[in-house]
Structure 1
Amino acid sequence: MSDKTFAEQHIVVTGGGTGIGRAAALAFAEQGAASVTITGRRSEPLDEVAALHPAVIPVVADVATDAGTDAIAAAVQARGGTLDVLVHNAGVFGLTPLDDLDPADVRRQFEVNVFGPILLTAKLLPHLRSPGGNIVVVSSISARLAAPHQSAYAASKAAIDSFIRSAAVELGPKGIRVNGVAPGNVQTPILATGGLSPEKITQWRTNYATKAPAARIGHPADITPWITHLANPTNSWVTGEIITIDGGMLAT
């Protein structure tokens, strides 16, 4: 028998066209969700995912803009106005060396990685099931792992970790849980879209796999089960948690 954990539930996954968001959206759909609205800035990858399951609904929207959050809210309203699970996965990465800093890169990372989840949560809060709603945020071990040229990205993820905990406390009385996952280096397009060359990406991933106790980088399939697990209604006593999934890197 198929798993119908999310039967009759309505889900939103930002950044659902590729990587972890794509895998999470399909996992929710395969576990019985009535609708899984996926968002992103480009229509092509969204349409490709939507073609894989009838429950997946693509919505072109930039979570860092008012127009984007309005479009997502309109999509939720079109599905009946009730939202059960909100997954904040959209994120951007870029190198920000302090001796050659482009302020636009810093602003963009905070707009997407921090302002987007906060503002979209506020926009969709009237639609989130209360009690019973779930928010899952995709953070990163970069929030706790210092590295050169990554101060903006790391700071944005540290900020979103703080948001997860504060939102869990604030929304707890409404019966809404807020949790996060913090992946390590995962095979997704984020490094390439962040401007790293194929050679640099290969070097980073090789170095990561060499150092991590698990001896490899991660894959979206390593992260997705934790997202759906945290969103599972049966886990009603888990909130304010950020689950590290990094092949043991932070333990080294």
Structure 2
Amino acid sequence: MTDKPFTGRTVVVTGGGTGIGRATALAFAGLGAATVIVTGRRKDRLDETAALSPAVVPVAADVTTEEGTRAVADAVTAAGGTLDVLVHNAGVFRFTPLAALDETAAQEVWDVNVVAPLRLTHRLLPLLRSPGGSIVLVSSRGGHNPGPGSSVYSASKAAVHSFTRSWAAELSASGIRVNAVAPGFVRTEAYAANGLSPEQVEGLFAGVVQGIPLGRVAEAEDIAPWITRLAEPGSDLVTGQVITVDGGMDVGGGAA
């Protein structure tokens, strides 16, 4: 297998300004992609990603909206009109007990985590290579292992798992594959976005690592290779799968 499996290909990565999205965009560029379109709502962070590789094209867009999805489609058209890989990485989490439900925050979680991938996939489907196209969704182990205070977030990721299986069945006749990666705890800026200080984040990780058999939380660079691998031509018999990357939390065996 070639070490540049995406040579000449066009990729879209949502939430490409930070964290897993940035690591994934750079991974695709390193594997030969001609154009990696990164989207998100923060232009400054997208520009930072683009500065790291000439293959990366920043498109500031809110893909929960029709205008935003159209901007991404226009960028794909400008890149040649055929999309090879679509990565739905953009996501938000808000952990609150049911009794303290914030309906505005809950709606944001649902819009970003569920409505956006549905709307963007619908918009880009006519541009997706058929056969040979690949969709990879970034989910969470919370989608199949919810915990207290995460009812809306976990439900949104369970919906992503449903999309993965349903779309895989529907699009297989067109030769388009659909898979998902479900990370556990990953060191990203998302915790700060939820109001946690760096010290609080490290305290959280120090606690959860006791329940991770492999002994550490993930970095964004640990997740990106699973996304690119699922999209590679060499994975052409893999579809409808949710791959959990959580250091073994789902199988147990960590410290009590």
Shift of 1:96: 2.6
Q: Is contact 1:3–1:30 with CA below 8 Å preserved after alignment? A: no
Q: How many Å separate the matches in 2 of 1:96 and 1:70?
A: 33
Give CA deviations for 1:30-76 in whole Å, capped at 9, x if unaligned: 11101000001001111111011100000001121111111111111
Q: How many Å separate the matches in 2 of 1:149 and 1:200?
A: 18
Give CA deviations for 1:73-128 in whole Å, capped at 9, x if unaligned: 11111111100000000000112321111101111001000111111000000000
In the other structure, the counterpart of 1:193 is 193
Residue identity in the other structure for 2:250: L
Shift of 1:3: 2.7
Q: Percent sequence identity over matched residues?
A: 56
Q: Is contact 1:20–1:223 with CA below 8 Å preserved after alignment? A: yes
In the other structure, the counterpart of 1:90 is 90
In the other structure, the counterpart of 1:245 is 245
Q: Secondary structure at the match of 1:4?
A: coil
Structure 1: runs of 5 or more not aligned:
none
Q: How many Å separate the matches in 2 of 1:142 and 1:132?
A: 30
In the other structure, the counterpart of 1:52 is 52
Q: Is contact 1:179–1:240 with CA below 8 Å preserved after alignment? A: yes
Q: How many Å separate the matches in 1 of 2:37 and 2:133?
A: 16
**Structure 1 segment 12-27 matched on structure 2, within 5 A:** 12-27=12-27
In the other structure, the counterpart of 2:162 is 162
In the other structure, the counterpart of 2:143 is 143
In the other structure, the counterpart of 1:179 is 179
Shift of 1:199: 4.1
Q: How many Å separate the matches in 2 of 1:110 and 1:34?
A: 32
In the other structure, the counterpart of 1:127 is 127
Give CA deviations for 1:132-173 in whole Å, capped at 9, x if unaligned: 000000000011222221111111001110111000000000
In the other structure, the counterpart of 1:40 is 40
In the other structure, the counterpart of 1:109 is 109
Residue identity in the other structure for 1:23: A
TM-score by length of 1: 0.97
Q: How many Å separate the matches in 2 of 1:69 and 1:98?
A: 32
Q: How many Å separate the matches in 2 of 1:169 and 1:202?
A: 41
Q: How many Å separate the matches in 2 of 1:203 and 1:115?
A: 33
In the other structure, the counterpart of 1:203 is 203
Q: Is contact 1:96–1:106 with CA below 8 Å preserved after alignment? A: no
Q: Is contact 1:183–1:244 with CA below 8 Å preserved after alignment? A: yes
Q: How many Å separate the matches in 2 of 1:93 and 1:83?
A: 28
Shift of 1:196: 3.2
Q: Is contact 1:29–1:56 with CA below 8 Å preserved after alignment? A: yes
Aligned pair count reads 251
TM-score by length of 2: 0.95
In the other structure, the counterpart of 1:220 is 220
Residue identity in the other structure for 2:28: F
Residue identity in the other structure for 1:55: A
Of 127-136 and 217-226, deviating more is 217-226
Residue identity in the other structure for 1:240: G
Q: Is contact 1:10–1:83 with CA below 8 Å preserved after alignment? A: yes
Structure 2: runs of 5 or more not aligned:
none
Q: Is contact 1:9–1:35 with CA below 8 Å preserved after alignment? A: yes
